[in-house]
A and B are shown apart, each in its own frame.
Chain A
Amino acid sequence: MKRNTILTILSIILLFVFLYYASHHFSRYTIIILNNIAITMILAVSYNLINGITGQFSLAPNGFAAVGAYTAALLSLTPAQKQAMFIIDPIMPFLGSIHLPFLAALIVAGLVTAFFGFILGFPVFRTRGDYLAIVTLGFGIVIDIVANNAITITNGPLGLKGISNYTNVWWSYGWLVFTIFVVMSIINSNYGRAMKAIRDDEDAAVAMGINTFKMKMIAFVVGAFFQGVAGGLLAHLITTISPTLFTFFLTFNLLVIIVMGGLGSITGTVIATIVIVWGSELLRVFDQPMHIFGITTPGIPGLRMIIFALLLILTMLFAREGIMGKKEFSWDWLFNAIKGGIKNGK
């Protein structure tokens, strides 16, 4: 046990040494992708808690990320900036005067998002069935409508500009490590086992005296918190947010990631995030004209999305377990594998 903790801490230190090197030697483009990977991973890991571990199909991440992004941005912008930006209608008095440091803004963003999660979860988790999917899908659309119409809060379709570029690799990977730590702690606790029981057989879980409402709610609200934080990090990475940023594509992307990695495996999610975020950067070639063997094909914007959709359907049909299934990486497993390798080698 002690050896494993030391190894984990060592590998986290190694990660940050790598980040220190990266932030001094890598190009700006690479740094942005590194940040993107961390934020997407926070979203995906917390999304897997409700979808993969608890087995309740949610489509909420884009709505939650939008709530988090707007909350964090509104809190970290200075009052003067907000006065200057809201040209259609002045901002609500309370929101206009409030100003918080970055960390506080992120935490409040997470809490506000978690509160939204609670409000959504309350009616849904009292019923059985797949209503969560449709309610959360509707939530994303309602948030989009509100972001466009509640002009005194969100500045409408113009969005928020000039958000300080606070997010760097330290912030995003710091939050990532914290997210994975919290999610893994939940999974390895009694709560996590109860959640898995609900996923595998809800009737049996009820019969064993598990409070399914409470367990689903914890998974959903904790996920919402981290998705709100990730939204806030995203807002302070790209510095401009508008309602069009948080479309269903964001959720779809995360769904592809957690399905590819294996529903219920955090290790799988981590691997799949890296593959998909890098991969979708590579797939951008399809959006531009191509020259193959002297034939020029026109760029087809949107072909990437078709590839993603096919990837998801085919994974579901032919490789439902994804990369990792429900398995997790552990040091014990690694050592046993090495030992086994040595034995077999002899």
Chain B
Amino acid sequence: MLTTVLQQLINGLSAGSLYALVAIGYTMVYGVLRMINFAHGDILMVGAYLAFFGISAFMLPWWVSFITAIILTGFVGVLVEKLAYKPIRNASRVSLLITAVGVSFFLENLFLVLFGGVPKAFPIAPIFHGVLNYNQLYLPVVSIYTPIVALVLLYMLLYILHHTKYGMAMRSIALDIDTTSLMGINVDIVISLVFFLGSSLAAVGGILWSTQYPSINPLMGIMPGLKAFAAAVLGGIGDVAGAAIGGLILGISEVLIVAFFPSLAGYKDAFAFLLLILVLLFKPTGIMGKELERKRF
């Protein structure tokens, strides 16, 4: 019994870390622009595809391919922001959301047309190979690396946010974008940086996701993207540490529910939305959330 629980906890921790990595991107963009970046899940998919092509088409060593993919995905995020979001930053919020849905649909169908809808096998990097057996515990190596990678990246991000000037600028924009720009801060560069960081983290999430469930397809980003948003709301939208905590809670509870109520396995993907509705009903600000100022534009 204890082993089962421990086993499921580790599985949940690994799934939760993935949600956390994606949720951070959502929450950061929401923090600075007050918009739900519907394309964030698809950015995760772009990251996985770039890593895939790095390894299988360009024959790069896995770590070169991963790093290139992560950086390139960051720039894809910046490009999306510059082309689609920046021109209408001051329009109504509904306009921003509609554009984001459009970008999401565009990316999915662009990749469908370019690379086909058939799932491709994702090459697993050598260090992620293998399984550890310890006292009947079955631990795929990637499930051990995932939480560690997530934790290190979260620490780095929190350091940037709280101990650098750019981080201070990001927090300041989250509070009040107009005043921040009056203070002589180049708001555009800081927002681009937010998209770069969020998209790179999504790419890391995408690569780890594809390693755990070793196949990729153009629609793979939808589900993790939506669940990660639920996680971000659970943690308190706008709060980076909250997003990470929300991701972990979501991942662990999902795995535990399937483990203890196998008959509900088919409904596993619905759980995140139930959770989202419950959070909105009982604590709309989330676990770490503070009341965000109500109106932006």
Contact = CB atoms under 8 A, between A and B. Distances in A.
A145 interface: yes
Interface stretch (A68-76, A135-143, A216-224, A334-342): A135-143
B139 interface: no
A55 B94 contact: yes
A51 B267 contact: no
B93 interface: yes
A310 B109 CA distance: 11
Interface in A156-201: none
Nearest to A134: B229
A130 B276 CA distance: 13
Nearest to B36: A130
Contacts of A302: 109, 112-113
A39 to B, nearest CB: 22
Nearest to A143: B270
Interface string A271-314: 00000000000000000000000000000111101101110110
A259 interface: yes
A220 B276 CA distance: 19
Contact of B269 (A59, A141, A255, A313): A141
Contacts of A134: 36, 226, 229-230, 233, 276
B158 interface: no
Contacts of A308: 105
A316 B267 CA distance: 36
Contacts of B237: 129
Interface string B46-71: 00000000000000000000000000
A139 B270 CA distance: 9
Dominant secondary structure of chain A at its interface with chain B: helix
A283 to B, nearest CB: 13
Contacts of B106: 306, 309-310, 313
Given A131-B280, A145-B267, A316-B99, A252 B105 contact: yes
Given A138-B273, A149-B266, A320 B226 contact: no
A124 interface: yes
A203 interface: yes
A255 B113 contact: no
Contact of B226 (A120, A126, A138): A138
B281 interface: yes
Given A123-B280, A135-B280, A308-B105, A145 B94 contact: no
B110 interface: yes
Given A127-B280, A133-B36, A312 B266 contact: no
Dominant secondary structure of chain B at its interface with chain A: helix
Contacts of B105: 252, 305, 308-309, 312
A253 B259 CA distance: 39
Contacts of B284: 126-127, 129, 131
Given A141-B273, A252-B105, A306-B110, A316 B266 contact: no
Which of B93, B101, B273 has its CB near the most chain A CB atoms (within 10 A)?
A: B101
A149 to B, nearest CB: 4
A146 interface: yes
Nearest to A128: B294
B12 to A, nearest CB: 20
A57 interface: yes
B109 A57 contact: no
Interface string B185-229: 000000000000000000000000000000000000001001001
Interface stretch (B83-91, B159-167, B240-248): B83-91
Given A306-B110, A313-B102, 17 more contacts: A55-B92, A127-B284, A133-B36, A133-B97, A134-B233, A134-B276, A135-B273, A138-B273, A141-B226, A145-B266, A203-B294, A255-B101, A302-B113, A305-B112, A306-B106, A309-B102, A310-B106
19 contacts: A55-B94, A57-B97, A57-B98, A120-B277, A123-B281, A127-B280, A131-B276, A134-B233, A135-B277, A137-B226, A145-B269, A145-B270, A203-B295, A252-B105, A302-B113, A309-B102, A317-B84, A320-B91, A320-B95
Interface of A: 51, 55, 57, 59, 120, 122-124, 126-131, 133-135, 137-139, 141-142, 145-146, 148-149, 202-203, 252, 255, 259, 263, 300-303, 305-306, 308-310, 312-313, 316-317, 320
